[in-house]
Amino acid sequence: MSGANDRARPPRVPKHPGDAPPPSRQAELNRAAAGAFANTPTKKAAPAEKANKANGAPPPIEVCNLHKRFGSQVVFNGLDLKVHRGEILGIVGGSGQGKSVLLRCLIGLLPPDRGQIKIFGHDVAKLSLKQRLDIDTRRGVLFQDGALFGALSVLQNIQVPMREHLDLPEKLMRELAMLKLAMVGLPPDAAHKFPADLSGGMRKRAGLARALALDPEIVFLDEPTAGLDPIGAADFDLLIRKLQTTLGLTVFMVTHDLDSIFTVCDRVAVLADQKIVRIGSPLALRRDPGHPWIKEYFCGIRGRNARLHPPATKP
């Protein structure tokens, strides 16, 4: 896969059109190092949809007719969604509508009852173990509560995916983890702290560093600014935008934070009535809500007051 968003990566040799082979150890090493050192802002990527079409690559995430229920509770009833390469897509919806369930379906933690989920063009229900492992290295996840291992230091937490998927010398792994730490704006002395010793904002950043450990192409974020004070949340928004611009990431961000939506999201998908009822730019949805919940959300007093900044490239 190549394109405007792949500047920081060594080229992959596609085995199938629009796809990449499972990387060799050297390629993994190159990829990890390239990502870790890719802290020079690049030009803003071409509009995501245009980039997708131009390089003929399949969308990084495509969901078709997804059904999911827990007992008698129907969570999704025919949900469709397409995420463009290189975009920051916000997922919004009322509490309990299934935003986190959708994220967990997409990363393979929950099996759909019916329907199809394609990641990088692969139907996740039909993946071999090898393909699944390859996809696991191409995506990172920041769970709602950070989900750091409490018994491990920040450095060790960041190294968990590296130990699981790569075979790197200790020294290099340490250097890479320190670079990831710097990329998310944490000071070097945070490396040896334990999650319990960190503030909420630092824990989120440490979780993000771990999500970036393998230099992924997609990052899934579940309520990244929840629990942060307004300044911490605004800083985190800018960090997400900067990382997306610098690394060419595709970001799938579950959020209810209107400021985040207007500051960083290219598009917003609205989850209601057990499906995605609307998808579009934040401004377009605010201008033309087309659904009672969206009207309430975007045109209520908080929606009207949400700050409307151009996407930032520098924190």
Residues lying near Mg ion in the complex (CB under 5 A): 99-100
Q: Does residue 149 touch ligand ADP according to CB under 6 A?
A: no
Minimum CB distance to Mg ion smaller for 100 or for 131: 100
Nearer to Mg ion among residue 85 and residue 99 (C-beta): 99
Q: Does 111 bind ligand ADP (CB under 6 A)?
A: no
Residue 3 binds ligand ADP, judged by CB under 6 A? no
Among 11, 56, 78, 96, binds ligand ADP (CB under 6 A): 96
Q: Which stretch binds ligand ADP (CB under 6 A): 92-100, 155-163, 172-180, 186-194?
A: 92-100
Q: State both tokens at 8.
A: 């920081």
Write the binding mask 41 to 80 for ligand ADP: x where contact by CB under 6 A, - elsewhere.
-----------------------------x----x-----
Binding-site member from 101, 142, 181, 251 for ligand ADP (CB under 6 A):
101
Alpha carbons within 13 A on the beta-carbon side of 77: 8
Residue 98 sits in the site that holds ligand ADP (CB under 6 A): yes
Q: Distance of CA 246 to CAs 108, 183, 222, 250, Å?
A: 27, 10, 21, 11
Partner from ligand ADP, Mg ion, none binding residue 98, C-beta < 5-8 Å depending on class? ligand ADP
Q: How far is the CB of 66 from Mg ion (least distance, A)?
A: 17
Site residues, ligand ADP (CB under 6 A)? 70, 75, 93, 95-101
